Structure 1
Amino acid sequence: MKKKSVERRYVLIGVCFLLPAVAAYLVFMAYPLCRTAYLSFSSWSGFGEVVLNGVKNYQDLFADKTFWSSLGNTLYFAVFSGIISVVLGVLTAWLILYMRKMEGQVFRTVLFAPNMIAPTITGLLFLFVFTEDIGLLNNILKAVGLEEWTTAWLANMNTVKPTVVIVQTWRQFGLTMILCFAGLQGISNELIESARLDGAGDGRIFTRILLPLIKPQIELATMFTLLNGLKIYDSVVSLTGGGPSRQTVVLPMWIIENAFTYSNFGYASAMCIAFIIVVLIFNIVLRTVFRGENYEY
């Protein structure tokens, strides 16, 4: 009887500790999500009465060219920056693994530092790199005799999207490097030495032993980078403002513009729900891709 009383007491204490977190989730996550879903079936300017209009907002989505182009831009930035970030992060983690302790710490700190910089600041920093007249990149190209390669990187429709991908990759690949390096450190040295004794080179050790063993870290890093790419907003606003000719407008920009510029909160809410569905699909695809055998060491 006394044992049950103690167990009940610990359960009660646990519930008390959970209540603030649950309350915060309900107030700041669940309620806004439900409210957004409700508004997506309405026409509301932000003031006055909410007028329900059925599925009209969702029908308008299919005819909205800007919605589809902004969704395409968002997926473009998310996929390409995510893939490049993961590849660079894994490779740099592997290279740092063979450095001495002091040099490795310095490189890890330097490479991870961009991840701690606010996206808006990142965009402003790279304005000084890619601006046509005073940009660092064009001046370097001129200095080494490659003036014909100079261009308006942020105004040229052929280069602006890859430029945004480069900026996003620079900011986030350090996270992949840290996660994968932590996984590589946990691999037994005896396992690697045994492979070397069997005649395996560095490349074969990396592809056949190290990569499979850090698969959970790669999966986590891929999810982080892709989801960060889908949320891209601040860096694009500060870097291009959606230009040139709205070629880099991303979905969060179009949602905010409809809500706070055009006062069309119902339509903006419908786009939010559509965006949430896209994110869920991404998660399902990632789970499917990374589903498979587990390796132990």
Structure 2
Amino acid sequence: MNNRGKGREKKKGKSMKRHYMLIGICLLLPALVIYLLFMAYPLCRTFVLSFTNWTGFGEAKSVGFQNFTNIFQDHTFWMALKNTIYFAVFSAIFSVLLGLVLAWLNLYMRRMEGQIFRTILFSPSMIAPTITGLLFLFVFTEDVGLLNSLLKAVGLSNLTTAWLSNMATVKPVIVIATVWRQFGLTMVLCYAGLQGVSNELIESARLDGASELQIFRRILVPLIKPQIELATMFTMLGGLRIYDSVVSLTAGGPARQTVVLPMWIVENAFTYSKYGYASAMCVAFIGVVLIFILILKLLFRGESYEY
């Protein structure tokens, strides 16, 4: 092919590249517009309002860093932050551990039974958090709750308690409800990673005398580290933004001991009309979320495995 032919081919290739790039931009444009309208703009607006005393009506007057100063003196904010971190950390730990173990057990099930098993266990993840809270309300209610009724039926009436009013049990109950809704997603993610592990590698380990537990701990878990990290990220973020299930289970009680940060932000904005202060708490909350993401990145850094 002469130089002129090569030039035409090169020009045609550039034209096709620009054509496909234009198609890609057109396909991405609606998503970009939606992101800018419903994510980027509200976030920027929240940051601006955090420096004002806006009440939802009238002009927003600048107060500088006063809202952020008030956060340090807000006892409820720190209690809500502590509760939010408690729910996020413990729900993430138990969701990931339970989902990982169930994903591993799925490997030993036949295809049809495994599909049914995974569908049943994943279904709680598709239920709205408010519905989850109401379901567990029927379980842990003191008088007519399912758990207390079962304890009485088997002669363990001394173990019955007001699960949602007892300070020692109310937080673990919320963690249980959150784990029940989240572990299915972890199971599916980890199972997808386990399916990608070479069978030859597992059989080789068995021939070398490794037990199933050793294979799980020393081979399977390190090889699905990206899936575990992703599952931990999802469950941790889900715990940090917990709101609906707490409202339906305890409404922040007893004595506001289970109030969480999203609940306190919503209350300040829509009950007390302190939109400026609520925006400042949102900005602080975003900082907390970013810190947790950074911590997770540091925890999961390290060696990579190939298989």
TM-score by length of 1: 0.98
Deviating more after overlay: 171-180 vs 4-13: 4-13
What's the offset of the Cα at 1:182?
0.9
**Counterpart-to-counterpart distance in 2, 1:41 and 1:73:** 26
1:29 equivalent to 2:2? Answer no
Partner of 2:20: 10
Partner of 2:275: 265
What's the offset of the Cα at 1:8?
2.0
Structure 2 letter corresponding to 1:274 = A
Which of 138, 141, 144 does residue 131 from structure 1 map onto?
141
Deviating more after overlay: 13-22 vs 230-239: 13-22
User: Partner of 1:42: helix, strand, or coil?
Assistant: coil
List alignment gaps of at least 5 residues for structure 2: 1-10
Which of 174, 182, 185 does residue 184 from structure 2 map onto?
174
Structure 2 letter corresponding to 1:196 = R
**Counterpart-to-counterpart distance in 1, 2:20 and 2:113:** 48
**Counterpart-to-counterpart distance in 1, 2:188 and 2:24:** 33
Q: Deviations over 1:234-292 (max 9, x none)?
A: 00000111100001100000000000000000000000000001111111111111011
Which of 71, 74, 82 does residue 61 from structure 1 map onto?
71
Structure 2 letter corresponding to 1:60 = N
Which of 97, 102, 110 does residue 107 from structure 2 map onto?
97
1:19 equivalent to 2:29? Answer yes
Structure 2 letter corresponding to 1:154 = L
After TM superposition, the structure 1 = structure 2 runs for residues 147-186 of structure 1, keeping only pairs within 5 Å, are 147-186=157-196
What's the offset of the Cα at 1:191?
1.0
Deviating more after overlay: 254-263 vs 13-22: 13-22
Structure 2 letter corresponding to 1:19 = L
User: Partner of 2:215: helix, strand, or coil?
Assistant: helix
After TM superposition, the structure 1 = structure 2 runs for residues 44-123 of structure 1, keeping only pairs within 5 Å, are 44-123=54-133
Deviating more after overlay: 33-42 vs 2-11: 2-11
Q: What is the percentage of aligned positions where both structures have the same residue?
A: 72
Which of 289, 292, 295 does residue 302 from structure 2 map onto?
292
What's the offset of the Cα at 1:23?
1.2
After TM superposition, the structure 1 = structure 2 runs for residues 183-262 of structure 1, keeping only pairs within 5 Å, are 183-262=193-272
Q: Deviations over 1:45-76 (max 9, x none)?
A: 10000000000000000000000000110000
What's the offset of the Cα at 1:229?
0.5
**Counterpart-to-counterpart distance in 2, 1:2 and 1:178:** 45
Structure 2 letter corresponding to 1:58 = F
**Counterpart-to-counterpart distance in 2, 1:74 and 1:181:** 29
Aligned residues: 297
Structure 1 letter corresponding to 2:301 = R
What's the offset of the Cα at 1:107?
1.2
Residues 3 and 105 of structure 1: is their aligned pair in 2 closer, same or farther, counting only changes over 3 Å? closer
User: Partner of 2:132: helix, strand, or coil?
Assistant: helix
Structure 2 letter corresponding to 1:233 = Y
Q: Deviations over 1:100-136 (max 9, x none)?
A: 2222112111110100000000000111100001000
Choose 1 or 2 for highest CA Rg. Answer: 2
Query: Structure 1 stretches (4+) deviating beyond 6 angstroms?
Result: none
Structure 1 letter corresponding to 2:222 = P
**Counterpart-to-counterpart distance in 2, 1:176 and 1:17:** 31
TM-score by length of 2: 0.95
What's the offset of the Cα at 1:4?
2.4
What is the aligned-residue RMSD (CA, Å)? 0.8
User: Partner of 1:43: helix, strand, or coil?
Assistant: coil
Structure 1 letter corresponding to 2:26 = C
User: Partner of 2:281: helix, strand, or coil?
Assistant: helix
**Counterpart-to-counterpart distance in 2, 1:186 and 1:159:** 40
